Structure 1
């Protein structure tokens, strides 16, 4: 179930039965400002276009036929129909023309294993590496603290979940149980 509900021109100062029901269900009511049709104006224009297209395409009798019609509409709307708001281009053309965001930090082509953990009373975290249980030295000062553990190959990084700082790094040695901090 959705956690928010937008209403185009509702008054936040005069709650009604519907708004009370939403509140009772834990749904936040968000009202648009009158004479400021930003998001709701776009949605209303889209719905108007959809309604006109469905009428022109012909009414259907079944839900399956309606779903087929809606899929066809979405394809035409996004890939064939030019839009004034984006320079008479299709949304697909506009989207593919822009440069996509890329990570600022160069990452290796391998996957980081991510684990949320808690440092034990002795200042260590237990992990399984190379088929055996290993203990990463974090430090007694970090006992019972919640941390984020990142592992990539034989490298680890332990991050304080509150401060976001790196508190320990390890290069795992498969011949040892206890792994010292670098």
Structure 2
């Protein structure tokens, strides 16, 4: 779209002018560092005239995001198939972030079914239907350890 093309060209002009005022980058790492700095300034520090002098990041965060509506009493269920990687983990998107579920290296490369109900996750071996791991997802952690079951002998 011509209007979008104009916005992109204007952004490129701003980026090129900013880079021209920086010391020349001699390595890709130096250039990436400069580009990250520009991104931070452009999104987090620079007020924008079209956004009532707010930063793009502040404007983005101020708007509630669209999510599917869940009816009262309705629970969220998901099922998917995956393969455990060579480190014994499988990835799952939850709460807008990628979580890594620690299954165990004994199951590396095995196909699994993953059942998710809200923050409870069950991992089932694809071929044997054996439950091989259970999780209660913690929003504050990327890596999720297996749910600990009480020892039948000690109760701990």
TM-score by length of 2: 0.46
Q: Which has the larger radius of gyration?
A: 1
TM-score by length of 1: 0.40
